[in-house]
Chains A and B, each alone.
Chain A
Amino acid sequence: MIKTLLPALALASATLVNAQVHVRANNFTVNPSTGPVTHVTVRNSGRQSVSGVLRAQFPDGWKVSPTERSIELKPGETKQLPFAIEKGADVSANSYPVRIQFGTLDVTQRVVCASAPYFKPTIDGDLAEWKDSIPISFAKTVVRTYWSSKQFSLAVEVEEDKLTGKRGVEFSLAASDEGKRYGFVVGADGKCEGVTAVVKRDGNVTRYEIGVPFKLMPELKPDAGREFLFSLVVHDPDGIGPRDIGAVMNPLPGQRQFEFGFCSSIH
C-alpha cells in the first residue's frame, strides 16, 4: 500500500455564488429512484453573516420535499441542507441537473449518483461483471465501484493514446472527514501492496480492475446505506494530464474527497 497525498489539482469550481458564498449540490449516495435524502452544502467564506431562502430544483418530474429552506450562516460557517427525494428516477448517463437559487445566485450544477452497489467481482481485468455498477464518466475516463463485506472493488477505464510516462490510478477512501484517509496508487503494471489489481489494454483503452481488502481500511465499515469519502485521480502524463473525479463533483474550494455510498445491488 502506498500512501500519498493527492496532487493539488486546479479543479474548476462550479460553486462560487458571489464574493463570499459557495453552494454545492452533493452527490446522491444511493440511486435517486430509492427516495434518498440529498443535501446542498452552503459555505460562507466571507466576513459577514448571510441569510436568506435557498431553493433547490431537481430534474423534471421529481417530487422533493421541501423545495426551499431558510438559512443563516455566520462568517466561515458551512451547513448541509437536506432535501428528501420522494419520487426520483435513475438515468443511465448518471448526470442529474440541480438548479440552486440563493439571493442573487442562480446556478445549475450536474450531480452524479456516487454509489458502490454490492457485488463480488473476480479481479481478472475482464469488466463484463460490472454491468450492474453505477458508472461515473469524466475526461475520457469511466469509474465504477462495488463492495462486499471483505472487499472494495474498483474498475477504471482510461482512454489514452500514449503509454509512456508514469501512468496509474491514485485513489483514497475515508470513513469521514475526521477519519483516517487510506490512499492507494495502482500503477500501469498493476502493482500495489496488499491490493489485487489487473490491468489490461484493449485498443486505446486501459482497464484497471482493483480489489482492496477492507482489512487494509479498518475504519471503514461497509454496509448498505452507509456513506464514505472517496477521491480518484488518473495519471496520464503524456496524454491529457491528471484526470480528477472531482471534475464532475462541483468541489468546494479545497475539497479533495467526495461523498460516496455503499448501496444494495441495484436489481
Chain B
Amino acid sequence: MKRILLAVMLMMAVSALAAPVFRTAAATDEDPAAAGRKAAEALKAALGGVEPQVVLMADCFEDKENKEKALAAVTAVFGRDKVCGGATYGMFTQAGALTEDAVGLLAIAGVGVSVAFEEKLGAANLTLEKDEVALTAALRSAGARLAKKLPKAGKGNLLIVISDAHSPKNQLLLDGIQSVVGKKLPVTGGSVNKNAGQNWIYHHGKAHTDAAVAILLSGDFKLAQAGRQAKDNDAVITTAKEGAAEAATKLGRKPIAVLAFDCAGRKGKLKNIGDELAAMQSALGKDVPLFGCYCAGEFGPADETDADKSMCYGRGWHVMVTALGAK
C-alpha cells in the first residue's frame, strides 16, 4: 500500500513539474463574492484540468469586508492553502485592465513552488522621515526572516514578493531578503495598496496587515526582466512598451507568460487606462498570458543610470516586467 501511495505521489510530482503553466483570469462585479467566483471559475477553465501549485490573487475592492468576500470566493474554488496575494489599485491581464471592484488571478503550475509568509514586519505606522533607524532594522530583519522560511532560497529561478511595505520602504525589506538569498536571484512583485484600511496581504484564506508573502519558483524555465520608470502619460505608455520589448528580447523566445508589477502612480498619470496595456501588448502580442497589477512600490530591475543591472531593487514609479519562457 505504501509503495502504491509513493508511486502515485511521484507521478503527481513529475506531472506537476512536467512543463511550466501560467494562466490568468480576471473579473469585475460590484458584488465582491461574485467577482471572486467569476475570476476563479474562469481561471479553472483556463487551466484545463491542470492543478495549480499556487494562485496569486490581486483585488481592488474598497474595505476589508469586501476584500474578504472576494478572497473567500477564490479560496472556495482553489483551497485556502493555494491562494496568496494582496490588495492592489487594480490589475490587468491579456484581456484588459480593471481598476474598480475587480479580482485578478495568476495560476502557476508545472514548476517548483515554495511559499513563505511573514507577519508583524514591524513597519506599521513608522515613517522613514521620523523612524528611519527603527524602520530599517525592522524591515531588514523581517525580510531575512521571510527568506529563511524558503527552503533552498538561493536555488530558485524567481522570487515573487508581495508586501505591506510600500516604496521606499520596499527596498529595506528587500535588503533583508537579499541578505539571505543573495543579490543575484531575480525578484519581482509589488507592495499592496497603502491607503488607510486597504493594505491587506492574503495568505491561507486570511487577510493580514504589516505582512509579506514570498513565492519562490524553480524549475525548467527561463526568464528575463526589465524595469522602466515614468511619471507622465506619454512616458508611461512609451516605457511600458520599452520594458515589455526589452524583457521579451532578452528572453530570446516567445514568452509563455509575462508578469508586470506596475506603479499605481503611473496609472494615475494615464489619460486612458488601456493605453499602457496596449503598448505592452504591441511588444508582446495579445495572446501571451499576462498578469499585472498596480502597486504602491515594485520589485525588479531599477531604471536608474547608477543601478547594478544584474540586481533587483525595491522602487516606485516603475513597471517591472518579467518574461517567462520554456527552456
Contacts and interface: CB of A to CB of B under 8 A. Distances in A.
Contacts of B269: 225
A172 to B, nearest CB: 21
Contacts of B268: 223-227, 261-262
A37, A89, A265 — most chain B CB neighbours (10 Å): A265
Contact of B62 (A90, A117, A149, A264): A149
Given A35-B317, A37-B232, A223 B196 contact: no
B198 interface: yes
Nearest to B265: A225
Contacts of B316: 34-35
Contacts of A34: 167, 265, 316
Given A35-B316, A132-B196, A225 B264 contact: yes
Contacts of B167: 34
B129 A225 contact: no
B231 A84 contact: yes
Contacts of B267: 223-225
Given A148-B62, A149-B62, A267 B231 contact: no
Contact of A36 (B100, B129, B231): B231
Contacts of A37: 231-232
A1 B88 CA distance: 34
A30 interface: yes
Nearest to B101: A149
A99 interface: no
Interface in B255-283: 264-269
B3 to A, nearest CB: 56
A224 B89 contact: yes
B129 A33 contact: yes
Given A225-B269, A226-B268, A119 B196 contact: yes
Contacts of B179: none
Contacts of A208: none
Contacts, number: 62
Interface residues of A, number: 27
B310 interface: no
A265 B87 CA distance: 14
A189 B106 CA distance: 53
Interface in A211-250: 223-227
Nearest to A90: B129
Given A225-B265, A225-B267, A264 B129 contact: no
Nearest to A149: B62
Nearest to A150: B62
A82 B129 contact: no
Contacts of B265: 30, 34, 36, 224-225
Given A223-B89, A223-B99, A226-B268, A264 B231 contact: no
Nearest to A132: B196
B89, B129, B198 — most chain A CB neighbours (10 Å): B129
A118 interface: yes
B317 A118 contact: no
A84 B303 CA distance: 14
Nearest to A84: B231
Interface in B79-106: 89, 99-100
B15 interface: no
B264 A224 contact: yes
Interface of B: 62, 89, 99-100, 125, 127-129, 166-167, 193-198, 231-232, 264-269, 296, 316-317
19 contacts: A30-B265, A34-B316, A35-B316, A36-B231, A36-B265, A84-B231, A117-B196, A118-B195, A119-B195, A149-B100, A224-B264, A225-B264, A225-B268, A225-B269, A262-B268, A264-B193, A264-B264, A267-B125, A267-B196
Complex A-B, nearest 8 residue pairs according to Cβ-Cβ distance, in ascending order: A225-B268, A118-B195, A37-B231, A265-B196, A225-B265, A226-B268, A264-B194, A265-B195
